[in-house]
């Protein structure tokens, strides 16, 4: 298990200059809370309730290979999970990635232990983490790729490996969120290909594909197919949130 420690006193100085704020409500958090706290006590309770609610519906998804923490309800701008997903996409605070990685890590261990496998012997390799890259223009806008940061934070939290296994094709891909389910599948199939040397890296490994949000699963499924065809032993899909269609999602 690798541990990432903040380096005192650099982070103490940073906390004084830029005190950490609650991801849910924006309230100032107590000084020096940066490493552990993401939410104020009130938002923390709301987050834990959202995780419990998502768990009640998660059985079917776990069997289908998707591990996630909460539901994302489009249009619920005030929801705590919605604010956290927004934060991951646009703010990029490392403590928030660490927070979700620590929440997902035990679930991933459980999923890996119960995976159906084509091979009878146990997989003794550490999990291998990767992600579907965003469009370059989106990465330029925010300065980072949240799925990449999530994959790296998870690799650290789980003591696993990280590799860039998937890349985007250069064609002008359409943005997934503007498409319906069928169009998303077609678009995803032509938008992602294996990275160079990915086939060597994935042979007989259990690969975890990480993303912030799963809507129809078209992107994750496309990447899973690529990795299985390349020789991965098994694939686990892992997102922070899954779109809750009961909340009025587009698809």
- Which residues of this chain interact with Zn ion, rule CB under 5 A? 22, 24-25, 27, 40, 43
Least CB distance from residue 25 to Zn ion, whole Å?
3
Beta-carbon neighbour count of residue 186 at 10 Å? Answer: 13
* Interacting residues of 135 by C-beta distance below 8 A, sequence separation 6+: 168, 173, 175
For the chain, report the end-to-end CA distance as a whole number of angstroms.
39
- In which region does residue 124 sit, left (phi positive, over 0), alpha (psi from -120 to 50) or beta (all else)? alpha
Of 40 and 195, nearer to Zn ion (C-beta) is 40
Least CB distance from residue 84 to Zn ion, whole Å?
11
Are 206 and 125 spatial neighbours (Cβ–Cβ below 8 Å)?
yes
Least CB distance from residue 140 to Zn ion, whole Å?
31
Of 25 and 115, nearer to Zn ion (C-beta) is 25
Least CB distance from residue 118 to Zn ion, whole Å?
46
CA angle 56, 43, 26 (to 5 degrees): 140
Of 43 and 209, nearer to Zn ion (C-beta) is 43
Of 12 and 25, nearer to Zn ion (C-beta) is 25
Least CB distance from residue 246 to Zn ion, whole Å?
25
Distance (Å) of CA 150 to CA 43, 109, 144, 191: 22, 16, 11, 21
Distance CA 60, CA 54 (A): 11
Of 25 and 199, nearer to Zn ion (C-beta) is 25
Least CB distance from residue 82 to Zn ion, whole Å?
14
Of 39 and 162, nearer to Zn ion (C-beta) is 39
DSSP string over 115-150? ---SSSS---SPPEEE-PPPPHHHHHHHSS-HHHHH
């Amino acid at each position: 298990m690798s541990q990432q420690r903040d380096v005192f006193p650099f982070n103490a100085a940073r906390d004084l200059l830029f005190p950490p704020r609650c991801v849910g409500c924006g309230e100032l958090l107590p000084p020096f809370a940066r490493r552990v706290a993401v939410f104020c006590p009130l938002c923390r309770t709301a987050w834990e309730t959202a995780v419990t609610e998502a768990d009640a519906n998660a059985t079917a998804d776990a069997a289908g290979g998707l591990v996630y923490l909460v539901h994302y309800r489009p249009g619920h701008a005030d929801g705590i999970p919605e604010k956290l997903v927004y934060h991951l996409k646009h703010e990029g605070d490392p403590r928030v990635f660490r927070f979700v990685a620590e929440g997902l890590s035990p679930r991933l261990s459980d999923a890996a232990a119960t995976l159906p496998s084509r091979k009878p012997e146990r997989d003794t390799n550490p999990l291998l983490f990767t992600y579907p890259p965003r469009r370059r223009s989106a990465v330029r806008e925010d300065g980072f790729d949240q799925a990449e940061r999530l994959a790296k934070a998870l690799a650290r939290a789980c003591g696993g490996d990280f590799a860039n296994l998937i890349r985007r094709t250069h064609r002008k891909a359409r943005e997934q969120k503007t498409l319906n389910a069928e169009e998303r599948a077609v678009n995803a199939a032509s938008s992602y290909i294996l990275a160079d040397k990915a086939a060597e890296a994935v042979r007989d490994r259990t690969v975890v594909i990480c993303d912030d949000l799963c809507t129809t699963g078209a992107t994750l499924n496309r990447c899973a197919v690529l990795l299985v065809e390349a020789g991965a032993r098994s694939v686990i899909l892992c997102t922070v949130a899954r779109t809750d269609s009961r909340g009025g999602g587009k698809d």
